[in-house]
Structure 1
Amino acid sequence: MGILAEQLKNQKEAQVPQGIIDTITTSDTTKLVKPIRAFMVTAPGNVSVLMNDGSSGIYPGCVAGTQYMGKILRINTTGTTATGIKGLL
């Protein structure tokens, strides 16, 4: 495998979740133990997040079983209506 092919393979692997936090506890003040790179929900709704750059916002209308990407430091209680949130590392 050439150098470029190896670099592309490593980039793709870096984007794929490597672990899971089975249950995320929402909080408006406490950050997650580790930042997550994506989340999924088991029951649909909105998910309010604090991102790595300090910005916050809402992922509206999240659908069960869909991965939503981002470097996320916290899932906020206020503004989150989805349940069964699972974090992907």
Structure 2
Amino acid sequence: MTDNAPHALTDGEWEELAGIEAVREAWGLEPGEGRAMLKECGTYAVRFDFISGSPGYVGPLYLLKGDGDPTCHPLHFIRKDGELVLEEDW
């Protein structure tokens, strides 16, 4: 059965995303400022359990979007070798 519904992030996932330099730069966060700052900025975030037609379950896909310019694409991350990695090809 395919679960393509969006999932709310856990506190740990928020913290992990806030620790990524590309996220800190995009939101103007200082090192150590975490999920609370992202949430206070009106950030939208969601996780999908990404399943492709082949090979099947790929892993989590995270989308992170600020509440600013609606024409800007959200940042999207996948997990590689246990670490969240920004996917720049959109």
Q: TM-score range by the shorter chain?
A: under 0.3
* Structure showing the higher strand proportion among its residues: 1
* Structure showing the higher helix proportion among its residues: 2
Normalising to structure 2: TM-score of the pair?
0.23
Normalising to structure 1: TM-score of the pair?
0.24
Task: Give the structure with higher Rg (CA).
Answer: 1
Q: Which structure ranks higher in relative contact order (CA pairs < 8 Å, sequence separation ≥ 6)? A: 1
